[in-house]
Amino acid sequence: MENQFFVDSEFLSPAALEKKHRLETDPSSRTNHMEYMPGMEVIESDICSKVMSQMDNYDYTIYTARDVRAALDHDVCTIEDFKALLSPAAEPFLEEMAQRAQRETGKHFGNTVYLFTPLYIANYCENYCVYCGFNCYNHINRMKLSMEQIEHEMKVIADSGMEEILILTGESRAQSDVQYIGEACRLARKYFRMVGLEIYPVNTDEYRYLHECGADYVTVFQETYDTDKYESLHLLGHKRIWPYRFDAQERALRGGMRGVAFSALLGLSDFRRDALASALHVFYLQRKYPHAEMSLSCPRLRPIINNDKISPMDVGEKQLCQVICAYRIFLPFVGITVSSRESASFRNGIVKIAATKVSAGVSTGIGDHESKYSGKETDGVKGDEQFEIDDGRSLDTMYQDMADEGLQPVLNDYVYV
């Protein structure tokens, strides 16, 4: 695969330009996004068919104010109730939804909010996802941290007081293989009580290896559950294979991971249908694997380097709040994460209602935590960021802000025995 041009030259080679143009304009030049590639594990599971059947039959225009009122009056939120709460008919009920969500959050999580930070250890990627700053045709500074550099970054983060870390890479097996990620997990276990992964999907035995190296949970963004839209956005690479990505969380659980997290990138397609599918993905897996911890992330599109025109499609803060409140009412026990993609004011508000986890001290670049945490420039090349963040508060500031909001910030609540 021709994906090394960004290291050697500012410009694409003629052959790379031709291939990029062909991928963008000629769908027949792309691989079938529903067929597994060699080496991809196929598992027997009925989860996908259940989720897609519900999503394909979801017509949110049929719901009325009466349906929303009935959903809010029910003690237990059914799938049909959840569909009503996601519909446009629920928008005038947002205040009542927030109050119900707040009650559910209080019953199951008290007034706690969990804090973590991401650590990007490499930004090489073999996928062409048109909305992502890491995509293989985007000219950015690429970098892969050595184990010494990873440990240095981790020590800087741990010295700030953080106890949970989320390790991320670009989706490149060639540059960030499973052994490399496993070694990073072993290092992380020296410094942190909780270690999460947000990497390319892998097979069950590889998830088992990463768990043995120290990983506790796995996050995978499906991006969009709309298979046709997915095909038009993911033009090249392993990520193009939609069903392999869909089953990633189940493979992770079969591999021994304690928890898994789910998400659609709201704004890529119809956000109401994507929100329905995301929650049902959790709902059905939760019943199949009742021992597992599950959570939902709620990201919206953010601007990327070399493309300042990307913005959430029809998803404003009001719509995002509706989705998050509906998630909480439908899935009262599930953790809900709102990342630094969102503004400080929005995050301060939503954690008092429905969200239970927020990131702090965030960088989506490679190798720059010391400069961001200390304020002093450090030597060496830095890797460019995946996307622009909106809330750049440090751990200390975030901790104090959460406390000022009447919440109890939590850095870790898991004890190994």
- The residues spanned by each domain of the chain are 5-410
- Dump pLDDT digits (tens) for 268-286: 999 999 999 999 999 999 9
CA-to-CA distance for 360 and 383, rounded, in angstroms?
20
Parallel, antiparallel, or unpaired: how do β-strands 293-297 and 259-264 relate? parallel
The alpha carbon of 252 is separated from its chain's Cα centroid by a whole number of angstroms, namely 15
Cβ atoms 82, 282 nearer than 8 A: no
**How much is the pLDDT for 374?**
56
CATH of domain 5-410: 3.20.20.70
**How much is the pLDDT for 417?**
54
Residue type, 8: D
**How much is the pLDDT for 132?**
84
Confidence grade of residue 314 (pLDDT, cut at 50, 70, 90): confident
Confidence grade of residue 248 (pLDDT, cut at 50, 70, 90): very high
- Dump pLDDT digits (tens) for 160-207: 999 999 999 999 999 999 999 999 999 999 999 999 999 999 999 999
What are phi and psi for residue 141, nearest 5 degrees?
A: -75, 120
Residue type, 168: L
**How much is the pLDDT for 1?**
35
Query: Over 70: is that where the pLDDT of 133 sits?
Result: yes
**How much is the pLDDT for 30?**
95
CA angle 408, 347, 336 (to 5 degrees): 75
Q: What is the chain's mean pLDDT, rounded?
A: 90
**How much is the pLDDT for 10?**
45
pTM reported for the whole predicted model:
0.91
Query: Over 50: is that where the pLDDT of 9 sits?
Result: no
Long-range contacts of 45-52 (CB under 8 A, 24+ apart): 45/247, 45/250, 47/247, 47/250, 47/281, 47/284, 47/285, 47/288, 48/243, 48/246, 48/247, 50/280, 50/284, 51/225, 51/277, 51/280, 51/281, 51/284, 52/225, 52/277
Averaged pLDDT, 10-20: 77
Angle between helices 271-288 and 79-86 (to 10 degrees): 160
Averaged pLDDT, 212-221: 97
**pLDDT exceeding 70 applies to what percent of the chain?**
88
Averaged pLDDT, 254-275: 96
**How much is the pLDDT for 341?**
84
The alpha carbon of 144 is separated from its chain's Cα centroid by a whole number of angstroms, namely 21
Cβ atoms 13, 5 nearer than 8 A: yes
- Dump pLDDT digits (tens) for 364-395: 678 766 666 655 555 555 655 555 677 888 88
